[in-house]
């Protein structure tokens, strides 16, 4: 019986599951999107959200707890064939991701199903992503933008009319100046 046994076994030993979970979450924080199977993504999602909640606190004990749970893997980038250390996963978590989600009460990750299946075992592939901070802003701005588009169109038309009248006035002034210059040259001859 599985009474009060939480989590998925995933055909792995306890140590292997722990290492896999740490690696997947570290990769998620580093790249902000990863491709994996549905079962692994569901298992990793809650762990990632707990770590982001720790990062929102931003205190030293929270940072130490995150290091104990996740480890402190380096982020390496390759430039011109040389490995360059860009920082650590914990630093990115606490300096970029934690402040990004301060106003968000939860739901920092999302799972997007892909139409692809893994070639070896036909496993369902998904994208596990961090939700962008600008997503809520764009949803609100879409509603506002429809209202603003009418006003913006009216303002744009009035601005174009003003520009056209100004351009028309300058064209008229130039024509008048050319005519005056022609008249003066005609009088002088």
Distance of alpha carbon 45 from alpha carbon 66, whole angstroms = 15
Per residue in 67-84, pLDDT (tens digit) is: 999 999 999 999 999 999
Same domain for 74 and 164, yes or no, is: no
Per residue in 3-59, pLDDT (tens digit) is: 999 889 999 999 999 999 999 999 999 999 999 999 999 999 999 999 999 999 999
Would you tell me how many other CB atoms lie within 10 Å of the CB of residue 150?
9
Determine, yes or no, domain membership for 8: no
* Main-chain dihedrals φ then ψ at residue 3, nearest 5 degrees: -65, 125
CATH number for the domain harbouring residue 113: 3.90.1030.10
Task: Count up the domains in the chain and report the number.
Answer: 2
pTM exceeds cut of 0.75: no
Domain boundary among 113, 132, 151: 132
> Do residues 130 and 109 make contact, with C-beta atoms less than 8 angstroms apart?
yes
Residue 150 has pLDDT above 80, yes or no: no
Per residue in 51-70, pLDDT (tens digit) is: 999 999 999 999 999 999 99
> Do residues 43 and 79 make contact, with C-beta atoms less than 8 angstroms apart?
no
Q: Residue 41's domain spans which residues? A: 14-132
């Amino acid at each position: 019986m599985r009474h009060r046994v939480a989590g998925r076994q995933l055909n792995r030993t306890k140590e292997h599951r722990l290492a896999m979970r740490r690696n997947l979450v570290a990769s998620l924080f580093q790249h902000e999107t990863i491709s994996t199977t549905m079962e692994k993504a569901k298992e990793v999602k809650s762990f990632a959200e707990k770590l982001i909640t720790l990062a929102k606190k931003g205190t030293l004990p929270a940072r130490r707890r995150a290091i104990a749970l996740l480890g402190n893997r380096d982020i390496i980038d390759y430039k011109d064939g040389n490995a360059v250390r860009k920082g650590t996963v914990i630093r990115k978590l606490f300096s970029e991701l934690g402040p990004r989600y301060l106003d968000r009460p939860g739901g920092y990750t999302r799972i997007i199903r892909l139409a692809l299946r893994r070639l070896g075992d036909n496993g369902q592939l998904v994208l596990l992503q961090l939700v962008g901070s600008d997503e809520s802003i764009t949803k609100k701005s879409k509603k506002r933008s429809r209202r603003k588009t009418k006003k913006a169109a009216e303002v744009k038309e009035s601005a174009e009319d003003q520009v056209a009248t100004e351009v028309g006035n300058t064209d008229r002034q130039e024509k008048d100046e050319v005519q005056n210059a022609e008249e003066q040259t005609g009088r002088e001859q």
